[in-house]
């Protein structure tokens, strides 16, 4: 067990985000949102750009049939790496662009949008059903970010970044509906703001702290357990990967940093990894 982080891809991403373990291909998907890039990092090899769009790519997840599902621009799409083909499924009605997304245990793909924070509440959270329908779930969102589910699948965790909280909902696996919203973790006194999150097999919630130089682990009751420090300020998201799901991958960003910041943080935009002695949950794929 170690909280020491290593740089695995010195990717200099403008906005590295959405790390997602692809168990079928034993590799890590991640995006550079602003570059419109989807990357695939192979722990035994290299990092390659497997898709580049001329629109922002907020999130990616593997599909059960071998393709990729994307939250990009202002909508959802499917992509086949073999055919090099992107198929748009439809657009959303709130927010400037798609942001963080993830699949739930039943294989639906969830993603939210973001809007300039001077217009709070004008973005949304959406659910892409396996049949391709786009369902609005939350309509009063500003900067939709981290999503995750408890090991038993009965609780969904969610971050709307400007609120500086991690909220929990009761989650109905059968229908995908969420109820009983409550604040699980209040981060208003913490350094930075909550961005992406992942849940481990013991139910712990790992939160990437944008402008907070860290990833924080909270237990399922919302009690702070650990803080992993990083050499970069803009820590954006994290997930477990590796063949034993015992590696924590962490993304970061360069966007918005000054030249002085970048001189102090040469690894801003890198993909990091550590082995915290905890394993992640098996990642879910889109069953569309």
User: Rounded to whole angstroms, how far apart are CA atoms 33 and 96?
Assistant: 13
What tokens appear for 148 in the block?
A: 């995750």
Residue 260 known to be catalytic:
no
CB-nearer residue toward Ca ion: 24 or 117: 117
Q: How far is the CB of 149 from Ca ion (least distance, A)?
A: 18
- Number of residues this chain uses to bind Ca ion (CB under 5 A): 3
User: Rounded to whole angstroms, how far apart are CA atoms 154 and 276?
Assistant: 25
Ordered strands of the 235-241 beta sheet: 6-9, 271-274, 247-252, 235-241
User: How many Å separate Cα 190 from the centre of its chain?
Assistant: 20
CB contact set of 36 (below 8 Å; sequence gap of 6+): 52, 53, 54, 55, 56, 57, 72
Can residue 100 be called a binding residue for Ca ion (CB under 5 A)? yes
User: Where does this chain touch Ca ion (CB under 5 A) — which range of 89-97, 144-152, 162-170, 277-285?
Assistant: 144-152
Among 32, 73, 104, 195, binds Ca ion (CB under 5 A): 195
Among 27, 113, 142, 145, binds Ca ion (CB under 5 A): 145
Q: How far is the CB of 1 from Ca ion (least distance, A)?
A: 27
CA geometry: angle 272, 155, 204, nearest 5 deg = 40
Q: How far is the CB of 231 from Ca ion (least distance, A)?
A: 19
Can residue 104 be called a binding residue for Ca ion (CB under 5 A)? no
Instruction: Evaluate whether 31 touches 18 at the Cβ level (below 8 Å).
Output: yes
Catalytic residue among 32, 73, 100, 195: 195
CB-nearer residue toward Ca ion: 145 or 155: 145
User: Rounded to whole angstroms, how far apart are CA atoms 147 and 52?
Assistant: 24
Q: How far is the CB of 253 from Ca ion (least distance, A)?
A: 9
Can residue 200 be called a binding residue for Ca ion (CB under 5 A)? no
CB-nearer residue toward Ca ion: 78 or 208: 208
Residues interacting with Ca ion, by CB under 5 A? 100, 145, 195
Active site (catalytic) residues: 195
């Amino acid at each position: 067990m170690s909280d020491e982080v290593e740089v695995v891809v010195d990717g200099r991403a403008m906005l590295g985000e959405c790390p997602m373990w692809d168990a079928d291909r034993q590799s890590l998907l991640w995006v550079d949102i602003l570059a419109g890039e989807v990357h695939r990092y192979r722990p035994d090899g290299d990092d390659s750009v497997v898709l580049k769009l001329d629109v922002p790519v907020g999130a990616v997840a593997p599909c059960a049939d071998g393709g990729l599902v994307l939250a990009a621009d202002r909508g959802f799409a499917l992509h086949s790496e073999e055919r090099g083909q992107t198929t748009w499924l439809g657009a959303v009605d709130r927010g400037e662009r798609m942001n963080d997304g993830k699949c739930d245990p039943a294989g639906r793909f969830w993603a939210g949008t973001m809007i300039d924070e001077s217009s709070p509440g004008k973005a949304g959270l959406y659910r892409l059903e396996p049949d391709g329908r786009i369902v609005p779930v939350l309509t009063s969102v500003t900067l939709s970010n981290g999503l995750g589910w408890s090991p038993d699948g009965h609780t969904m965790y969610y971050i709307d970044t400007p609120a500086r909280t991690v909220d929990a909902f009761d989650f109905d696996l059968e229908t995908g509906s969420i109820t009983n919203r409550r604040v699980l973790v209040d981060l208003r006194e913490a350094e930075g703001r909550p961005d992406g999150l992942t849940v481990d097999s013991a139910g712990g919630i790992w939160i990437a702290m944008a402008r907070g130089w860290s990833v924080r682990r909270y237990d399922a009751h919302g009690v702070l357990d650990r803080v992993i420090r990083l050499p970069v300020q803009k820590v954006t998201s994290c997930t477990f990967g590796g063949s034993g799901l015992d590696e924590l991958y962490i993304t970061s960003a360069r966007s918005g940093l000054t030249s002085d910041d970048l001189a102090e943080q040469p690894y801003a935009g890198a993909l990091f990894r550590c082995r915290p002695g905890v394993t992640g949950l098996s990642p879910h794929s889109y069953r569309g």
